[in-house]
Every structure is written in structure tokens, then in C-alpha cells.
Amino acid sequence: MRSNVGIRLRRNASALALLAGLVAAAGVARAADTRPVVETDLGAVKGVAADGVAVFKGIPFAAPPTGELRWRPTQAARRWKGERDAAEFGPNCPQPSRSGGEAGPQSEDCLTLNVVTPDPKGKLPVLVSIHGGAFFVGSGRYLIDRGIPEIVRRGVVLVSPNYRIGRLGFFAHPAMAGGGEAVGNYWLMDQIAALEWVKRNIARFGGDPGNVTILGCSAGGSSVNSLVASPAARGLFARASVHSGGGFFNATRPLATAEQQGREFAARAGAPGDGADALAKLRTLTPAEIIAADPGPPNFGAIIDGRLLRDQVSVSFAKGDTADVPVISGSTSNEASVFGLMGFDRKVLAARFGVDVDALRPAYEADGPLDEAELLRQVQTDFIFTSAATGMAALADKAGRPAYAYHFDHVGAAQRGKVPGAAHCEDMRYTFATAPLADAQDQRVARMMQDYFLNYVRAGDPNGPGLPAWPRYGAQAPAPLVIGAETRAVPGFRARQLAPWYAKWSADTGQAFPR
């Protein structure tokens, strides 16, 4: 075994007592308790062997962001002595309780990650999965908690970190100005710190630090867009995959806007004012008190701080001010399924984003009138998600980055014929096979999705033998891969419905959209 890999297996055999009175004159075989141990740069971690893979949970990658470290850039974790037990997940970062939410305890001491490896002695491609949850719920346990993803068994090392969410991860305040350190994007600082940990340590788990793919859905997809745009993340990954991550109209805000939102939060939390005393008081609040001061739909997103993010993420894509890596960008056909969580109804679309649903009728009703519910569903789906999935791919292509766009329209057997399309992030269920797929059509789609993404994480191109051709997305000849009953690239996909969104993006940013 190579010494620089850092894996060692320890066998602590102990004799089992004979079952007196039940088995006469019969011995019971000695059982070996074998658990994998990896020596990281901070200390040894002891995982578990499960279903043919090695699993390490709750590994600290940064110091607890508590006390005076609340709303401070991510700090290095301290070394530990001996073997740290990595059999259980670390706490989730603080978040509101909700039905069907993440299991397990919560704590601000939450900057941990999980690693699953099928071959600790290999040099395998690495997939870092950033969890979603509208930037206010969720955790890195979401994939592993549902079983070992099939794509891992096929030769991929999976890493899934936590990061600060909600107001603890997104906060700017005038009292922070002049401190000489980055402010606001604590969530992004955490994600970058996790990627730095991967670069330093993943070879010890059988992964190739030069072959890292970052992937995320929803807020995780938005995170991947931001990581691609951030100068601080350059060199930490080789390719990116954005699933239902938006990028055109959601989230990003100037630092001045974030500071005003921080003032409003501070006042709600009982610490009004711009001075250091207000910030000091906020650092004494409990996580529950901080969460309680942000009622209503979540409104968290990337902050243009001039350091981690130099511009709106889409504008950085348009200017080519991004990592020089391939990008996959996609969405599903019924993204409106998530709008109840996000609170983007007709009224909010108008007030917050300037979207007049009725003014869009000509683009959406060329083939016949739509009832109110269906019109709103299509507008919601295209507004943040479809337009950005294709649009961000077009911007990446314009900047010379290999880009692939997709539109996932497959509905599983249980919902087929009952819903108008594939739900938000539904494609992830097939890519990672995190739920039973008894239907032959579901199984076919799952195998195809896994093949595409296994090819991509290995070599940066999803195409391979036996798969429908997935062409690079050209701004001058756009053809996303539409995945459904039939899977094929569709030139001019939803061109009429998407045209108003491209025009709105151009008007909002002052950038010409590639045609």
C-alpha cells in the first residue's frame, strides 16, 4: 500500500463469549471489527465500511464559526490528536424546523463534510456536491443519508460539505466596513474552504485532486455558478455542473443593498444602528433568535463584494471573468413546483422583479390561450430556471468555455399523467438513484443520466457510446438536450417563450445577449 495515501486498516479482533446453554460444545468464530482510517492534514479520521465503500462523516474542514467568529471569514480548523470517529454526520447548520426537513441536531459548529470512496487506494474523479435549500435549509448529509449513490460505486469519490446558510451565511453590516477582510458571503467562503480541504486531502481517500467536479441543484446550483465566477475559487475544480440553479434574475445583489438588508435585519433582531455595538449585540443572539428575525419567504443570495464576487454572476459569465472550465447547465420542466417554498407568486414577481405576467401572454399563447394557473406555471418555470439554464450556457459558450445545456422532462412512474412536468431538481433523483426506480422507463432514464454524468466527471464531456448525442451549446445554434420519453437535442427550444427573458436580462445588465 502506498505510504502517501494515508489509509490504514486496523483489525481489533476480540473473542466472543460462548453461548453457554444454547450451543453445547460449539465455538463461535472470532469477529474482526475492521474500520478504515485516513490520516488527514488535521488528524486521523475513522470511518465505516458500508455496502462495498468507505464512508467518512462529519470531518471538520474549518473552525466553528461561533462567538467572535460569527460573521467572520472561514478560519482554519485546529488539529486533533488520536483518531476522530467519523461514523456519524456532524450537526446541520442552524435552520428553521420544517416538515420533511433535514434530520439530526443543529449547531453553529457545523462546518464539516462527508466523504464516500469506493477505492481508497485509487486515483478516481472527485464529485463535490453542494446542497440546495433556497440558502436557508438543507445540509451535506442529503445524498448519503438516502443510501450510497450508484455513481459512486461506479468509480467516483463523493464529497458533500455543510456551509453557513440563512442570515448566518449571508450578512453585511456597516460596522463590518474597514476591517480589511471579506464580508457578506460567508456561505461562499465556507464552500471555498471545503474545496481547499479537498485539494489538500482527497488523494488520501483515493481521489484525484486535479479532477474535481462541483455540482449542485437549486441553491447548490446557484453556488456552483458563484464558484465558477469567483476568483478565489480558481484552480480548485476542473468542471462544473449547475442543476436548476438560475443565474439570471435570482439572488445576486450589490454590497450596499446587502448592507441595507443587514440594517433591517438588525433592527428586527433588536440591535438597531450602524455601530460596532449593534454588531456585538447581534453576535450574542442565539441561532434561534437570528432565525426568528427573518420571517417570511427566504431572500438570501450572492453579494457583489468586489473580492469573492466582482460583478453579477451572469455578467461575469458574459465577460469571460470565470474559471476556464466546462459547464453543464440545466433545469426541469415544472420548476414552478418549488415556488410555494420561495414565495414567488404573481404579486411578488411584479413587486420584486418587475415581471408583468399578463404582458407575457403573446409569447406564451401563440398556440392558444392558457388558463391563469398554467400561464403562471410556465412563467415561473422559465423566469428563473429555463431561461438561465440555456442563457448561462450561451454566455459560457460566448466566452469560449465548453457548455452543455439540458431540459429534464421525464416524469416518474408514480406521478406520470398526474403532474404537468418534472419537478424542481427531479433530475437529481435519477443521476444519483437516491430512490427506488421500479419502472423500466425510470430505470432507463436513471442509467442514461448516470452514464452522462460519469463521462462528464471523468473527462469533461458527457457523450459516450450508446447515449443520444449531447452537442455543445452554441450561442448561435442553441440546442439543449431534452430528456423525456425521447431524448434528443432540440434546436431553438422554447425560443418564443424565452426571448422576453433574454431581453429582460440584457435590459437589466446592459449586456448584449448572444444571438
Catalytic residues: 218, 335, 424
Widest Cα–Cα separation across the chain: 86
Would you give the DSSP letter of residue 218? Answer: T
How many C-beta neighbours within 10 Å does residue 9 have?
A: 13
Q: Is the dihedral of CA 350, 354, 359, 364 positive or negative?
A: negative
CB 185 within 8 A of CB 308: yes
For residue 124, the cross-strand partners are 207
Alpha-carbon torsion 353, 492, 337, 113, what sign? negative
CA–CA gap between residue 124 and residue 121 (Å, rounded): 9
User: Which candidate, 405, 258, 388, places its Cα nearest to that of 313?
Assistant: 388
Q: Find, among 472, 159, 227, the residue nearest to 326 by Cα.
A: 472
Collect all residues with Cβ–Cβ distance below 8 Å to 456 and sequence separation of at least 6: 213, 239, 241, 326, 328, 404, 462
Question: Which is nearest to 309 in space by CA: 251, 369, 394, 249?
Answer: 251
CB 208 within 8 A of CB 234: no
